[in-house]
Structure 1
Amino acid sequence: MTEKAALGEPGRRIKTDQPHTARIWNYWLGGKDNYEVDQRAGDEIRRLHPGIGDYAQADRKFLGRAVRHLAGERGIRQFLDIGTGLPTADNTHQVAQRVAPESRIVYVDNDPIVLAHAAALLDSTPEGRTDYLDEDLRNIDSILEQAARTLDFGEPVALMLLGVVIFIEDDEEAYGIVRRFMDRLAKGSFLVLSHTVTRPDMPDVDAAVAFWNEHGTPKLTQRTPDAVVRFFDGLELLEPGVVSCNHWRPEDGAELERPEVAMFGGVGRKS
């Protein structure tokens, strides 16, 4: 069953004269939903940080591995994916429903670009269900109220926050948002989170983020690996902890031999 969202007229809100993170990410992943302005910015960021495309790919593969683990090994059948970004191959519902066709997924984003492509996120197996909400990450009560049309919050849910809390500049606000979401979820729920990091041995990442924050929208906030770990306070952090996304339970052993990327991720369980 598929729940259709009201898409409105997002085209009027999409600005094509300024680079945008969702479209640049799409460009790095080999997608076609981007403009020349995004390609130019993406190429300049890649010049400053040649590995940027690698961590876009690593983050996407991290999503797939985390969802397969939760659906296949932990019995999770409900996913709340906030800040989903533009649809691409192997979105959360596709990965989860391949493992468990009855899985239910709610996507949340407030980006007009993503909203224009939301129909691609609403495909579902007959046994499962998907929905899409046009909401901001900060609107916790509204998100949970609307998501309850599709998800049963009396049962465990996987909260997916991949590359989205980087848009919350204030640390305490960012940690508070994640904590408030997890407080409202049932025991046995999971947090899956990834975040761009800053570290002394990765100065080119800092330069790339500085370029982006000068020219693009929305602005990004980097945090240290230890600061990313703080998002999992009070949760049981699954092995191997918060690590470079390409080093989180790789299904290809060669991944561990590849250099770390500046996108770190982890999975934590609420007990």
Structure 2
Amino acid sequence: MNVLVTNDDGYGAWGIEALIKALSERHNVFVIAPDGNRSGNSHHISLGNKLILKKAGANHWVSSGTPADCVYSATKYDMFGVKIDAVVSGINKGENLGTETIYSGTCGAARQAVLDGIPGIAVSMMLPDNNLEWNDRANWHFESLAKFVKDNLETLSSLCVTSDNGRGRDEPCVYVNVNAFSYDKFSEVVFTDLCFREFVGDKIILKPLNKENTAFESITASGENCSKNRGYSDYLACKDGKISISRIYAEPRTCGLENLDSITFSL
């Protein structure tokens, strides 16, 4: 398969390097990734803004844009001269569970892929213990999850619904979200629902920038992530040492129109 690889941690990050190495053993890999960290950029598209694209090697590019920009650039402009069969975004350094998928640049890239007619797979890994050092490469077993993606790419791609293969059935586009704890091996692969991720204790701190207090610097002080689970959620599966796979709608859907006939509005 011809696989486009991107991420939101930036070109050269540990997770994307492990993914490129593993996928290259079986597939033709093409890379376009941001030139720096773009975590939390969700599905941001740089409409009307110029992007800088720089060649980083054979079939490797870096972009000044976001993860969604990277996919958009590769699909709207034939950067590599081949038909891309799948887009894999990640491996993200940190989880993208439940409601975090709204904010995730990793998921934004996979979402853009299916909207552009290409299967999109977002892949993320988290540390199993908060006491483990975040910046110690030895704590991150990206290779084990990258191997899983390599060995199951065709199956993961088949779980997506793209703008090309689902529209005749009026089915909304679907991308795949893969999460796991940082383990050498996994006990099982399971399909999961999304948990609700509540950021307990998050605070916004305003730091004055002048004596008149008319300008401030806004700083986010992160609290603790707490998961509220709906059934056997993505979080619970990862906690149990499994690989979680969630199929997520890429398109907004309206709530049902049932039982709304009695509601009236003034004009």
User: Same-fold call, TM > 0.5?
Assistant: no
Q: Whose RCO is larger (CA < 8 A, sep 6+)?
A: 1
| Higher-strand-fraction structure | 2
More helix by share: 1
Larger Rg: 2
**Structure 1 length as normaliser, TM-score?**
0.35
